[in-house]
Structure 1
């Protein structure tokens, strides 16, 4: 039986709510990547991508953050904005994470469709994202929602770590 999502809302996060995004990442990220990445890489990437000054810098540069709520309880987040390569043509989904207790209820799809509609409303023609090659659950979810793999990407992120991803996109 599908989960009743009537209590689920997605709201734009202001700069003052970025600490909530950081706290959600600290709670969600280790569970999401424990079977894919080492504990050392998880800690390194959390600091690299979710320290409050990093989030504030992204926000200042135009990245949009949305919080996903069950009633008044924050349960996940998204972030997205213009691509660096083609900022007037392409948007990038940087982050979409949901508390594990809310998986398999259609909420991730609801959040993804929200981002797709936001990108369309800003007249982008393509939305792309990077997803870890070993994150089969996320890859299936993106494919169910119309995304296709367009290339592979291995990015050195320092300290001996790499991000080994597929780049996926959907035409808007």
Structure 2
């Protein structure tokens, strides 16, 4: 059974550094703009300053621990009766062990304890392994969204949802 370690703003820099190699591994080859676009989006969304601003906007960040080792990280936000799963990433050698499902269950339980009745997330359309994992955990594709990120870059995501 994995554990959760929540962090505050004082942990934003450390989380940024932890997340960077995960992001590069997952999205460098996946995003159509390649490593440059992946890096641009990472720094826009997961710089220490962006994490701190997100916390000011109600996002909760933390690590998934397996045997005391950081196996992944997450971010979520309560939005009335909806739970937004913003980040859900695992270190490469931790994938395929069921830890992602444990983390998703923890996030859904957290939302349910706080009055949420549904959850949603965005996932890159090329991230087939994540899409399959979310589907195994009850999420369904609701719609396709392309959103301009600036500097000629855009996200290309499915929005997925499920009841809690």
Alignment TM-score, normalising by the size of structure 2: 0.94
Farther off after superposition, 107-116 or 14-23: 14-23
Gaps of 5+ in 2: none
Work out whether 1:11 is the aligned partner of 2:5. yes
Asked if the contact 2:7–2:62 (Cα under 8 Å) also holds between the matched residues in 1, the reply is yes
TM-aligned CA deviation for residue 72 of structure 1 = 3.2
SS in 2 for 1:131: strand
Give the secondary-structure state (helix, strand or coil) at the position aligned to 1:79: strand
Partner of 1:3: none
Q: Say if 2:119 is the partner of 1:101.
A: no
Q: Does the 8 Å contact 1:146/1:170 carry over to 2? A: yes
Determine helix, strand or coil for the equivalent of 1:42: helix
> Number of matched residues?
162
- Corresponding residue SS for 1:124: coil
Distance in 2 (CA, whole Å) between partners of 1:11 and 1:145 is 22
Runs of 5+ consecutive residues of structure 1 not aligned to the other structure = 1-5
Q: Offset at 1:20?
A: 2.5
- 1:73-152 correspondence to structure 2 within 5 Å: 73-82=69-78, 87-152=79-144
Provide the alpha-carbon RMSD of the alignment.
1.1
> Which digits, 9 at most, give the CA deviation of each residue in 1:64-106, with x for residues without a partner?
0121123333221110003xxxx31212100001100101000
2:55 alignment counterpart:
59
Q: Deviations over 1:110-169 (max 9, x none)?
A: 111110110111111111000001110000000000000111110000011110000000
- Measure, in 1, the Cα distance between the counterparts of 2:17 and 2:40: 16
CA distance in 2, matches of 1:18, 1:111: 20
CA distance in 2, matches of 1:27, 1:35: 13
Scaled by the length of structure 1, the TM-score of the pair is 0.90
1:60 Cα deviation after fit: 1.4
